Every structure is written in C-alpha cells, then in structure tokens.
Amino acid sequence: MKKALFILVLVNLALTLGPPILAIPMIRHTPAMLAVAHAAGRIAPFASAVSALLAVAIVFRWRRPLSWVALALIFACVAVSRVSIFEWLFAPAGAAQLAAIAQFQDIRDSDMVIGVTLGDESRAYPVRYLAYHHMLNDRLGPIALLPTY
Amino acid sequence: MWDRAVDGRILRFHLGGLNNQNLLMVDEETGSWWQQVTGECLFGPLKGKRLRRIRSDEVTLATWRAERPDSSAVKFEPRYLTEYPDSDWEKRIASLPANSTGPIPPRELVIGVELDGVAAAYPLAALREKSPVNALLGARPVLLLVAPDGNSVRCFIRPTAQDFYRRVEDGALIDGATGSVWNFAGKAISGPMAGQSLESIQTTKDFWFNWQNYHPASTLRIRGL
C-alpha cells in the first residue's frame, strides 16, 4: 500500500514537473529532452486523473497522515498538468482590440511595430505587446494570422 | 508572422515552452509543438509540417503610419498595462547568457535575410552606419536599407547586380543607372523609374546567437559593406 502510493506520487511529479523543468530557458536543449517533455506533457493529464482514482482507493484503506500528503500531491498534479506554466508567466492575449493607426497612442512614435499588409488591409502589432504575450491568434481579411515575437 | 491554416484546418496557438531560448508554440487542436523561429512542427501529430510565412515588416510606428494611413493597430490590453516591457527592453536582457560563435557578442542585434536558401546576417549597428548596402545573397543582388529613424530596416531585390543604390548629399536614395529617387518603401518617387517598386524580402531582427542557432550555415557580413 505504502509503496504503491509512493510510486504514484513519484510518477506524477515527474510527469507534471518534468516538461516545465526541461523547457526552462538557460539550459542547452537536445531534441531527445524535448521529445520526452512533449510526451510527458501529453500523458500527464490522463495519468494524473487515473492516479488520483487509484490513490483515493488506497487511502480509503490505509489512512495515515502521510497518505493524506500523498493524496494532496497527486491532486495538485491533476490541476497543474492541465494548465500551462508559461501562460502564468506570460498571459495569453485576448481577442485583438483595434484602433485606427491615426488615433493609436498606446506606444511612442519611435517604438517598433510588426506591420503586415494583405490585399488592401494593413495591421500593426506593437513589438512591446508581442514581447509580453509572445503571440496573438488573429485574423486579417481571409487569413488566420499568427504574429509572434 | 505565420498563417495559422495547416492543410485547410485553422489552428489556435499557445505558448508551450522554450527550446534554446526560442519559443515553442503548442496548438490547441492537436497538442503538437512548433518552433516559433522556423514555423516547423517538431513533436506531435503534425510533426514535419511547416507553417506558411506571411511577409511582415518591423518598422517604427511613425514609419508604418506614414506608409499605411489606413492601417489598424492592436491596442494594449488594459489589464496587462504593467506587464508590457518598456521601449528599451532589448537592452535589459542583453546580459542574459547565450552561446554563439563569431566576432560579435551572442546578443548583438542582427538583421537576418534569406533568399533561395542562402542566409546572411548583418549587425544592425553596421547597417545603420553603411546604409544603403548593395550586396549579393548567393547570386542574387539585394539592397539593405535603414530608414532615417535608425531602426526600421528593409531588404529589396535589385533588378541586376549592376544596379547600385547610393545616398546623395541631400539624403535622397538614387540608383546609379537612371538617377531616379527611391524611398524607404522601395518605390521610385521621381526620375525615369518613377512609380516602379522594388520587390522586398523578409528581414528578421534577431539576436546573433538565435539567428545562428536556427541558420547554422548563415554568414555574418561585417566587412566591405
């Protein structure tokens, strides 16, 4: 019982914390590391849900202070594996709010924009906006656009 | 700037992580991971697919407004006003560690261009000093221009290698063959070529280490600009 619970906790922590740890900026990333991170991120939501059910069944029969801690950790993995840690750091952009360029005063004249023209429509994305959100799921005319920075 | 349509399906992208300091993007529909700088899908069901690049310009607001008075602009979101970095944000991250080879620091800003599989990077500081720069990318003659604002950069295809562009004393850009005057948008505004436009190609402002990481065969052009 005790051993099974311990293994469940370890597996879930590895699956949930592995991907963000592998994708921190200051290390040299290899394709194999990223492949592992991607695979772990894909199975973590499912694996943690199954683990939570198993853990509840175990704790039902083996109630110790430590088993409640294990249960709490696994439930934390259920939650964390379903959100993006990077989107905590850099909130995703909401739907684009537009201004006419003549009236646009959110940035200085000397600040940079990413400009795009498709047919007879043009749009400017402030670099300072993209440097925080990093991307915007947008649309210009018939084209679904993804400005990134 | 990418087209979100892949094989007729429109994807929605999120921030997924980092790969050697370049963003990984994850799509909602399949959970695949994409590299921001190349548009290539690295992992997941869409592995091997590539996003289609949409031509974009990185210029100052003043330049864009003057050239495209009918343009729209995307506004800051009020709830994140304190999160948006200041105008000088690039200088602030200049001290973060990074690795590259070559005679310039990893985080020096370069302008990267690519044409017919030939990639080259120009230090922005050098371009500011030498613009207009008449160059060859492989066999293709090109022209790199920095606007008077010092930050807006464009690259154009020169019709022939014999077409040289230079600045004359009053700041006008003229071509040696006809003496026509050209503007930063690549359009002849007076002279025999008036009304003609040069074809532009994508320029990417990037840190040298990042450009080199994803364009390992790229040359770095410093001398003889």
Least CB–CB distance from A113: residue in B20, B24, B61: B61
CB B171 within 8 A of CB B148: yes
Best residue of B7, B15, B36, B54 to probe chain A, by most A CBs closer than 10 Å: B15
- Strand pairing class (B72-74; A121-126): parallel
Q: Give me the sign of the Cα torsion angle B89, B94, B98, B99.
A: positive
What pLDDT score does B171 carry?
Answer: 75
Nearest residue of B to residue A96, measured between CA atoms? B74
Domain boundary among A35, A54, A84: A84
Looking at residues B99-104, what average pLDDT do you find?
Answer: 82
Instruction: Assess if residue A113 is contained within a domain.
Output: yes
**Within an 8 Å CB–CB cutoff, is residue A23 touching chain B?**
yes
| Distance between CA atoms of residues B173 and B184, nearest Å | 9
In the predicted model, is pLDDT for residue B96 greater than 80?
A: no
Residue type, position B70, single letter? D
| Distance between CA atoms of residues B16 and B13, nearest Å | 9
Q: Are residues A78 and A105 in the same domain?
A: no
Q: Are residues A79 and A110 in the same domain?
A: no
- Could you tell me if residue A16 is left (phi over 0), alpha (psi between -120 and 50 degrees) or otherwise beta? alpha
Looking at residues B173-189, what average pLDDT do you find?
Answer: 93
Looking at residues A49-58, what average pLDDT do you find?
Answer: 89
**A119 to chain B: which residues are within 8 Å by CB?**
none
Nearest residue of B to residue A117, measured between CA atoms? B56
pLDDT in tens, B102-146: 888 888 999 999 999 999 999 999 999 999 999 999 999 999 999
> Token match 């302008």: residue?
B111
Best residue of B24, B74, B79 to probe chain A, by most A CBs closer than 10 Å: B74
Nearest residue of B to residue A38, measured between CA atoms? B43
Q: Are residues A43 and A70 in the same domain?
A: yes
Q: Are residues A63 and A116 in the same domain?
A: no
Instruction: Assess if residue A111 is contained within a domain.
Output: yes
- Strand pairing class (B41-43; B219-220): unpaired
Residue A76: give the domain boundaries. Answer: 2-84
Instruction: Assess if residue A91 is contained within a domain.
Output: no
Q: Is A79 helix (H, G, I), strand (E, B) or coil?
A: helix
Q: Are residues A117 and A72 in the same domain?
A: no
| Distance between CA atoms of residues B17 and A148, nearest Å | 14
What pLDDT score does B162 carry?
Answer: 85
What pLDDT score does A23 carry?
Answer: 65
pLDDT band at B81 (very low <50, low <70, confident <90, very high): very high
In the predicted model, is pLDDT for residue B10 greater than 80?
A: yes
**Within an 8 Å CB–CB cutoff, is residue B102 touching chain A?**
no
Output the CA–CA distances (angstroms, integers) from residue B119 to A130, B106, B109, B224, in the order listed: 25, 18, 16, 17
| Distance between CA atoms of residues A140 and A123, nearest Å | 8
Q: Are residues A8 and A65 in the same domain?
A: yes
Q: Are residues A137 and A75 in the same domain?
A: no
What pairs with residue A121 in β-bridges? A118
User: CB B83 to CB A91 under 8 A?
Assistant: yes
Q: Lowest-pLDDT range, A50-64, A75-89, A102-116, B86-100?
A: B86-100
Q: Are residues A53 and A110 in the same domain?
A: no
pLDDT in tens, A15-52: 888 777 766 666 677 788 888 888 888 888 888 889 88
pTM of the model as a whole: 0.89
Q: Is A24 helix (H, G, I), strand (E, B) or coil?
A: coil
What pLDDT score does A25 carry?
Answer: 60
In the predicted model, is pLDDT for residue B51 greater than 70?
A: yes
| Inter-chain contacts counted by CB atoms under 8 A, chains A and B | 215
* DSSP letters for A114-145: EEEEETTEEEEEEHHHHHHH-B--EEETTEEE
Output the CA–CA distances (angstroms, integers) from residue A42 to A31, A114, B16, B51, in the order listed: 16, 33, 12, 22
Q: Are residues A111 and A41 in the same domain?
A: no
pLDDT in tens, A108-145: 999 999 999 999 999 999 999 999 999 999 999 999 99
Instruction: Assess if residue A14 is contained within a domain.
Output: yes
| Distance between CA atoms of residues B178 and B93, nearest Å | 45
More confident position, A29 or B189: B189
Q: Lowest-pLDDT range, A67-71, B100-104, B144-148, B194-198?
A: B100-104
Looking at residues B171-188, what average pLDDT do you find?
Answer: 91
Looking at residues B21-33, what average pLDDT do you find?
Answer: 90
Q: Are residues A22 and A80 in the same domain?
A: yes
Q: Are residues A43 and A76 in the same domain?
A: yes
Instruction: Assess if residue A109 is contained within a domain.
Output: yes
What pLDDT score does A8 carry?
Answer: 87
What pLDDT score does B1 carry?
Answer: 95
What pLDDT score does A100 carry?
Answer: 97
Instruction: Assess if residue A89 is contained within a domain.
Output: no
| Distance between CA atoms of residues A61 and A69, nearest Å | 15
Task: Work out how many domains chain A is built from and give that number.
Answer: 2
In the predicted model, is pLDDT for residue A13 greater than 80?
A: yes
What pLDDT score does A27 carry?
Answer: 67
Q: Exposed/middle/buried for B166, CB within 10 Å: 0-12, 13-18, 19+?
A: exposed
Least CB–CB distance from B75: residue in A28, A86, A97: A97
What pairs with residue B73 in β-bridges? A99, A124
Strand-by-strand arrangement of the B200-201 sheet: B133-137, B140-146, B153-157, B200-201
**Within an 8 Å CB–CB cutoff, is residue A82 touching chain B?**
no
**A17 to chain B: which residues are within 8 Å by CB?**
none
What pLDDT score does A20 carry?
Answer: 73
Instruction: Assess if residue A27 is contained within a domain.
Output: yes
**Within an 8 Å CB–CB cutoff, is residue A129 touching chain B?**
yes
**B24 to chain A: which residues are within 8 Å by CB?**
23, 34
Q: Are residues A49 and A79 in the same domain?
A: yes
Instruction: Assess if residue A93 is contained within a domain.
Output: no
Instruction: Please give the backbone phi and psi of residue A146, each rounded to the nearest 5 degrees, phi first.
Output: -130, 85
| Distance between CA atoms of residues B47 and B44, nearest Å | 5
